[in-house]
Amino acid sequence: MSMWLLLPLGWVYWLWVAVKIGGFAMFALALFPITSPIAAILGGWSFLFGLPDWVVSVFIS
């Protein structure tokens, strides 16, 4: 049951982080239907454990 709550929350968190750090590619990743589940999973992970360093280096640098 908690997974069904975590995925939409993770997707919204991913969008919020993308806007906060200025990552247009992160924002676009969340909006495309094929890649939005990936953004939801990564966003859920980031919500629980913090944003991984590799995400910042891939999408910002």
What residue ranges do the domains of the chain occupy?
2-59
Q: pLDDT tens digits, residue range 3-43?
A: 888 999 999 999 999 999 988 999 999 999 999 999 999 99
Eight-class DSSP state of 32: S
pLDDT for the residue numbered 7: 93
Sign of CA dihedral 40, 41, 43, 44: positive
Q: Tally the C-alpha atoms within 13 A of residue 31's C-alpha that lie toward its C-beta.
A: 10
Residues 6+ apart with CB under 8 A from 39: 10, 11, 14, 15, 26, 29, 30
pLDDT for the residue numbered 1: 56
pTM of the model: 0.89
Q: Which two tokens stand for residue 40?
A: 């939801």
Q: How confident is the model at residue 61 (pLDDT cuts 50, 70, 90)?
A: confident
